[in-house]
Structure 1
């Protein structure tokens, strides 16, 4: 039996050689059930609202998390089996990456709804640049997970952990840059709120030559809720990234990595909060149809 923190205090060294603890069976069942429910819901929501990008982001993340937690449940029953341990390493490391990509796409659509006047990037570039960077970090993490899972020695496993560490560090940098872009966008929008109201009342500003089609959109209560949800989910993924960096920097025998409660709360729970927030505050409901998806960026605004 393990203690409440899931450390190896009361366990034999042989039983805990892989994780440093025996994964909690009840915890694995709870997380597996939660991820399964959310994943099925995301599949249905993506079909219902015809938001196909969610199949490759939130739904894909859920499938990977289900695989990872099913493997941890397997490990709770057979703690000496190496196969479930190897599967969960890669699955739980890379799973949140497509979930982060969903945030990039959602923010790009928010920019299209509110207007491109305050963005330094065209909406589509948020998806292209940040998602491509996210995919690069996914490849690095997956490569590191494969190396660690197939390693025959502690040195080899630590080498894989270092590769994963590089991928997650890169992902954290992406989150910081994306957050800076989003903060600047909202700052510019709010700073010019009075002009936004004037555009909406007048329909067209002859002095600036900005038409109603190009003028900033209105922040509705639903859109404000969607924006707050985006902030919350990005923060959760940031916390999870910081935890993973600290965890992996200690090596495969590090205290953080080999303490179960840290993983459950700072990884599993952060992803649960993110994926369920997107279920309940769904872009198909809270993000209105963009009025200017095909409109050009105003010449008065500098964009890349």
Structure 2
């Protein structure tokens, strides 16, 4: 999804170069390129939850189970996504100067939150990394689970570093506004080096170190979270109540 949005962003950007009076095309291109990295973030969170479930002897990081990890960080990611989407829309090329300023402040708040969540998440990744090294040292890992986790964690570090590089660039770009005194928004080479390249690398690393190569077998399947089990139970109970109601209605009719 991230790759699709990134491709769409640059496709609209290319289209906008031939229709420079169209603020709609420019706005769509800007929104897509600003929020596409959120999908990469969400993917990293989900992959880490599966790594913990598959490789950790305790299947936890501190007291967080994989399903709770995924739920917390994906929810935080969605929150950041919504804030960035609102800010990016308000700061579109066709907006007034006042709207653009408010939009940029909102967007920078959202992207700052995203980086804050990445820092917290990185702390958990480092904790898992250290726990795995200790488990290896004391022989608590089975032979088939010794090598794979290292490749996935390295890929995760590389992905998070690429996203962080891109976030720092965006914060530096927008902190000075969109006026002519700020050269970054109109500097395309810098955009390609500090926006496009990091995101391309963040996506590419998961093509090279694909989780499906390592996470195989029964342990690769994540158990449902408490919320999922609760929702499934509620749906089943509602269906049973509906069926019982229909049977009762038929019995009363006869």
Q: Say whether the fold is shared (TM-score over 0.5).
A: yes
Give the secondary-structure state (helix, strand or coil) at the position aligned to 1:226: helix
* Corresponding residue of 1:49: none
* Corresponding residue of 1:188: 131
* Corresponding residue of 1:107: 48
State TM-score, norm by structure 2: 0.79
Sort the Cα spacing of 1:97 and 1:116 in 2 relative to 1 into closer, same or farther, 3 A: farther
What are the equivalent positions in structure 2 for 1:14-53 lying under 5 Å apart?
Answer: none
Structure 1 position 70, deviation (Å) = 0.8
Aligned match for 2:206, one of 273, 278, 285: 278
Aligned equivalents of 1:78 and 1:183: distance in 2?
47
* Corresponding residue of 1:135: 78
| Cα contact 2:135–2:141 (8 A) shared by 1 | no
State TM-score, norm by structure 1: 0.67
**Where does structure 2 lack aligned partners over 5 or more consecutive residues?**
225-254
| Cα contact 1:109–1:290 (8 A) shared by 2 | no
Aligned equivalents of 2:210 and 2:82: distance in 1?
28
What are the equivalent positions in structure 2 for 1:34-183 lying under 5 Å apart?
Answer: 60-115=1-56, 117=58, 119-120=61-62, 121-149=64-92, 152-183=95-126
Structure 1 position 149, deviation (Å) = 1.9
Larger Rg: 2
Aligned equivalents of 1:241 and 1:87: distance in 2?
20
Kindly tell me the number of residue pairs found equivalent between the two proteins.
220
Give the secondary-structure state (helix, strand or coil) at the position aligned to 1:235: helix
Aligned equivalents of 2:175 and 2:32: distance in 1?
19
Aligned equivalents of 1:104 and 1:151: distance in 2?
35
| Cα contact 1:106–1:283 (8 A) shared by 2 | yes
| Cα contact 2:24–2:94 (8 A) shared by 1 | no
* Corresponding residue of 1:301: none
Aligned equivalents of 1:199 and 1:99: distance in 2?
29
Sort the Cα spacing of 1:129 and 1:190 in 2 relative to 1 into closer, same or farther, 3 A: same
Aligned equivalents of 1:80 and 1:199: distance in 2?
61
Aligned equivalents of 1:289 and 1:256: distance in 2?
48
Residues 222-275 of structure 1 deviation map (CA, whole Å, 9 limit, x = unaligned): 432222111111110111111111111111122222211121111111111111
